[in-house]
Amino acid sequence: MNILTFDTEEQLNEAGAGVLSGMVQMNPSAILGLATGGTPIGIYEQLVQTYKRGLVSFNKVTTFNLDEYVGITPEHHQSYSYYMRQHLFNQVDINIEQAYVPCGTATDLEEECVRYDRLIENTGQIDIQLLGLGHNGHIGFNEPSHALLSGTHIVELAEATKTANARYFSAEEEVPQKAITMGVGMILKAKNILLVVKGEDKAEIVKRALTGPISTNCPASLLQTHPHLTVLLDRAAGSLL
């Protein structure tokens, strides 16, 4: 585990973008696992700037997103498909046919989970998986539980997660109750994992995830078992380490 702490959010975002762009520079056909939410936005902004400076091209890259809300169309402004187009895909030269996000409106959601896992396995091992960290220790939408599923699956979102997501919706009743998420087993199959965490409100869960016992009650603690884990923290998030 390699933990790096930064004094400013700009420095952290530059470092995160540097890790991802460096992977693509070394392997133009890299397979990237991508995340959404507030944490990666600055990293994606830096990636776009790196692309605009002519330092990296994404035209041979394949991407797989961690998750998507159930019942929200890709065109909905709070879908993760929309998020990725807004913050990255529409601003770089990626082939959108090779940018995959689970379909939350599939007729058969269980079959969609199987299809998504098969698509990842047939494409190849993810070179680097970008992750954020939930307040309750979730990664993707893998919520704390007595047991965790390895493959892509449907999950009932925890109350803490729905509360955290409510700020993105105009009314509480609009907040999705379920999501499709890549399983912890698939996340851990990535060759490299990049965990990014910001803010004092995450300091306690950062300490628990990175130094506490490995338990499915804190899904992020399973990252301790990965041989190539890089953690980027701001000073506030890392204050209890």
Contact between 191 and 156 under an 8 Å Cβ cutoff? The reply is no
In angstroms, the CA 44 to CA 225 distance is 27
Residue 175 inside a domain? The answer is yes
Half-sphere exposure of 14 (CA within 13 A, CB side): 7
What confidence tens digit (pLDDT) does each residue in 188-235 have?
999 999 999 999 999 999 999 999 999 999 999 999 999 999 999 999
Rg of the Cα trace of the chain?
17
In a domain, 240, yes or no: no
How many structural domains is the chain composed of? 1
Q: What b/e string do you get for 192-207 counting C-beta neighbours within 10 Å, with b at 16 or more?
A: bbbbbbbeeebbebbe
pLDDT at 153: 96
pLDDT of 146 = 87
pLDDT value of position 163:
78
158 vs 31, higher pLDDT: 31
Residue 142 domain flag:
yes
For the annotated catalytic residues, the residue numbers are 67, 136, 138, 143
Q: What is the CATH number of the domain that holds 223?
A: 3.40.50.1360
Per-residue model confidence (pLDDT) at position 157: 81
2: three-class secondary structure by DSSP: strand
pLDDT in tens, 89-115: 999 999 999 999 999 999 999 999 999
Average pLDDT over residues 115-121: 97
Q: How far is Cα 107 from Cα 104, in angstroms, rounded to an integer?
A: 9
Average of per-residue pLDDT across 146-165: 84
Looking at residue 165, its pLDDT comes to 72
The pLDDT tens digits for 6-25 are 999 999 999 999 999 999 99
**In sequence order, what are the residues at sequence separation of 6 or more whose Cβ sits closer than 8 angstroms to the Cβ of residue 47?**
17, 20, 21, 56, 88, 92
What digits encode the pLDDT tens for the residues 31-84?
999 999 999 999 999 999 999 999 999 999 999 999 999 999 999 988 999 999
Q: Does residue 209 contact residue 223 with C-beta atoms inside 8 Å? A: yes
Q: Residue 43: inside a domain, yes or no?
A: yes
Domain containing 177 equals 2-234
Tell me, yes or no, whether 239 lies in a domain. Answer: no
The answer to whether 136 touches 219, Cβ cutoff 8 Å, is: no
Write out pLDDT tens, residues 123-132.
999 999 999 9
